Amino acid sequence: MNYTLLAVQALNGLQLGVLLFLIASGLTLVFGVMNFLNLAHGAQFMVGAYLAVFFYQFTGNFFVAAVLALIAALLFALMTEVTILRHFYNRDHLAQLLATFGLILILNDGSKAIWGSTPYTLPLPELLSGSVPLIDGLNYPIYRLLVLGVGLIVALLLYYVVQRTRFGMMVRAAAADSEIVAALGVDVRRLFMIVFAAGAGLAALAGILAAPLIAVQPGMGDNVLILTFVVIVIGGAGSIRGAFVAALLVGLVDTLGRSFATDLFRAILPPASANEVGPAVASILIYALMALVLSFRPSGLFATPGRT
């Protein structure tokens, strides 16, 4: 086995994991606090990526475009929450799913109408376009290390805010019983609005960070949403810690499986058969992982009480 390739793919898996965590943490936070199922959360990932490309075309500066895109994505999320989504908070989950699925269709078709179907990529600045040596024979792109670092910093900040601040205490209390929290004088509607904007902002941040690495195109959030739900199911609905652990597991399993499954099957199967079986097995590994976890922990690894 090529251990340098293994190290590179492991780092790529961790990078995918932190991007999934940014998306999954926002979605699980919204569900855990608001009991709101938002299928359009993946579309916010797409919105962040498109806005980063849009602002780069005007400013020509990657960092300025990223900041402006994040601010614009937050404002868009607030506008969506105020005008559409808050009217479904007290409705059943089926109504929420139908409403947010309709929002997905609107955003996907809207992005196609504005930017067309041609994929875009956000160019990297010279500062982030190189690579650095990690060990002998292993150079790794600076930008991918930056994505890893940003994801880990956000995870620590999110943990601190939720677990160590007064606002986090209100969030955790609202997740347990929002009616009691409202009776104690907390403006629950304002709290919900902040939580929704924070969750959407995390998804948009993931889209901004991913824009230089993948094609920015309509519907790019749909496949990410599927992986996000896998992360939430494995980690436990409503759990930030679970989202972090599960996102890293899913990122590593998916990346390493797609990189090495075919080679592993070549040890026991003819090359032609291995070339067919390997990619097929690799594509279902994360779902097999989900089934394995649920067979021992039906509510996920770190399920939040009341959200099982």
Give the start-to-end residue ranges of the domains of the chain. Answer: 3-296
Q: Which CATH class is domain 3-296?
A: mainly alpha
Do 210 and 52 form a contact (C-beta atoms < 8 A)? no
Cα within 13 Å of Cα(271), Cβ side: 0
In sequence order, what are the residues at sequence separation of 6 or more whose Cβ sits closer than 8 angstroms to the Cβ of residue 144? Answer: 11, 12, 15, 213
Residue identified by tokens 């347990």 is 176
94 class by beta-carbon count within 10 Å (0-12 exposed, 13-18 middle, 19+ buried)? exposed
Query: Structure tokens of 149?
Result: 């670092």
CA distance 196 to 38: 10
Picking from 108, 85, 109, 106, the residue whose alpha carbon sits closest to that of residue 97 is 85
- Give, for all 308 residues of the chain, the pLDDT tens digit: 567 778 888 888 999 999 999 999 888 888 877 788 888 888 999 999 999 999 999 898 999 999 999 999 999 999 998 888 888 888 888 898 899 999 999 999 999 999 988 899 889 888 888 888 877 767 888 999 999 999 899 989 988 888 888 888 888 787 777 778 778 787 778 888 888 888 899 999 999 999 998 989 998 888 888 889 999 999 887 788 888 999 999 999 999 888 888 888 887 888 788 788 888 888 888 999 999 998 988 888 887 655 44
